[in-house]
Structure 1
Amino acid sequence: MAIELKEYIVAFIDLLGFSAMVQHDCERPKKEHRYIKVLYTIHLKTKELKKTIIGLEITQFSDSVVLAIPYSQENYKKVVDVISNYQYDLLNDGILCRGGASYGKHFSTEDFLFSNGMIDAYKIESTIALTPRVIISKELIDLVYPASELSKNEHLILESDGLYFINYMKNGNADDSWKAICKAIPDELSENPSIRSKHIWLIDYYNHQFPESKRKDNHRFVSPDA
């Protein structure tokens, strides 16, 4: 077998809240298990992604999924669609995820992975994404898009921090997307600052995507006499 590094598009996706879900089911009796069946179903759905694009590689471990495919503009468009659909499906299962997508030299087999594309994608996921979004690296954006096409692209959204993320709510309408959000976040936002910020971001994203159907004000600031 020839061992050769080639240019690949690589995405690193992290399922948020995975540790808490595992801890919940492991510490409770069988009748109170809420997540193991959902997570196993997601695992099976993730394996099926291989069938959506010829040449797509999928690696799963713990709460992480790596997608890789040889670089081409056509493959870029296909993998963005796959990620968008996947992220929206996860939301419908009550699971949030975040991630990064980049490109670079890559080589893998069934049990070996050597990839600076994955390293770049992981760095984006772990240090930049922060909220339930999959960010496309600036380098990949510059490689794929002429500047004139970016403003017309419904597959990506430019956030105020200057980063483009995959617009996964384009896959649903306002009502269905809100129902999915209600599965993923509680009625009362969490007191945990990290979790709360993700939920607030998700509501803001919904309100941006469906401005005619705004559902909830976040009330970031509370007046002294409230």
Structure 2
Amino acid sequence: MSLKNLKGFVFYVDILGFTALTQNKIQLTEDDFHIWQVSKHFQTSGNQEFAANILILFREILTNCQNKYPKVNFTQLSDCAFVWSENMKDVILSCHTIMWDCLQNGILCRGGIAYGDIIEDHNNNLGQMLLGNAVSKAVKLEQAGAKGCRVLMDQEVPASLNDYDSSFCAEIYKLFQPFENPLDFKVYDEFKWYYSQSLKDLNTTKGIIQATVERLCLAAKLQFHPKFNWNVRTPEGSIHVKSSMRFTSANEQNVFNIEHTFDWKELPDSKLRTETNYTRITKKIQDEASSCIIKKGNNIKFPPAP
């Protein structure tokens, strides 16, 4: 067996709520099957077929990302995956792409990313064997107790990325921020992947406004899109969706110096969770952003809708 030792980033990602779904702890409805476009022929399989559709989509997202970043390694294990490489920039970009594409498509994920030793083999028939302290740390970070679609990271990630590619690190450095977990009051380091879809122009007024629109539209999807209805039918799933909606819509200036009028705390009644309402609120976000006010000190403010 040929083993390879390397140093790099490992990103571990897991689908939230999947175990409850496959263990039939969630009662699905016809509307769930309809919004997820599950064929009526397969609906007799209930939760298992529904879960299979989610895994197929998850695999497509991983495959598309792998095609985009061929220097990065990918291994899927049911509802989770490992992503790793010595090319630390591409691991960050892969992490961002996977998290963004999953949430856009109705899959709520949580992740951990770490730097360190990686040991891999080349047995592609059974899937690559993967171990090392970076692997263990990434898994531990994902399971640290944070609620919602966060990506926690170890303290070495920003410094290691800067050593690898200082110009790229400078572009996205604002997205590496600490947060306090309200459950245990511990402070964790986080990659705030949800602040921008493109990870570009984050130091310009136009780029900051666009990134805020993208972030708020993600929050609107969590709040109103019916693809997440199955998640909120368990107490734990409801917490994950609500927490994700809260921090993706948060009106705070730690990353960008911008104020907006969307700061959602509670999820609406299930009857209001429709594609029509989702489309309506995203248009409202875009309309307000188009009239942003630039205040003294380059502060940016969304004006309230008339």
Tell me the TM-score normalized by structure 2.
Answer: 0.58
Q: SS of the counterpart of 1:4?
A: strand
Which one-letter code corresponds to 2:18 in the other structure?
F
1:31-61 per-residue CA deviation (whole Å, 9 max, x = no partner) reads 3554422321221221232222232110111
Q: 1:176 to 1:207 in 2, by over 3 A?
A: closer
Instruction: Say yes or no: does 1:121 pair with 2:119.
Output: no
Q: C-alpha distance in 1, partners of 2:237/2:221?
A: 17
Q: How does 1:55-94 map to 2 (within 5 A)?
A: 55-70=71-86, 75-94=87-106
1:95-132 per-residue CA deviation (whole Å, 9 max, x = no partner) reads 11111100222122233223221111001111244431
Q: 1:213 to 1:77 in 2, by over 3 A?
A: farther
Point out where structure 1 has 5 or more consecutive residues left out of the alignment: 220-226
Which one-letter code corresponds to 1:98 in the other structure?
R
Q: With CA pairs under 8 Å and 6+ residues apart, which has the higher RCO, 1 or 2?
A: 1
Q: Which residue of 1 aligns with 2:57?
A: 41
State the shift of 1:175 in Å: 6.1
Instruction: Say yes or no: does 1:158 pair with 2:178.
Output: yes
Worse-superposed segment, 3-12 or 157-166? 157-166
Q: SS of the counterpart of 1:54?
A: coil
Q: 1:186 to 1:150 in 2, by over 3 A?
A: farther
Q: 1:154 to 1:22 in 2, by over 3 A?
A: same
Calculate the aligned-residue CA RMSD, in Å: 3.5
Q: 1:211 to 1:189 in 2, by over 3 A?
A: farther
Conserved 8 A contact 1:154-1:167:
no
Point out where structure 2 has 5 or more consecutive residues left out of the alignment: 29-40, 164-168, 181-186, 198-212, 252-257, 268-306
Q: Which residue of 2 aligns with 1:107?
A: 119
Q: C-alpha distance in 2, partners of 1:65/1:6?
A: 19
State the shift of 1:15 in Å: 0.7
State the shift of 1:170 in Å: 1.4
Q: C-alpha distance in 2, partners of 1:21/1:195?
A: 10
Tell me the TM-score normalized by structure 1.
Answer: 0.76
**Following TM superposition, where does structure 1 have runs of at least 4 consecutive aligned residues deviating by more than 6 angstroms?**
25-29, 149-152
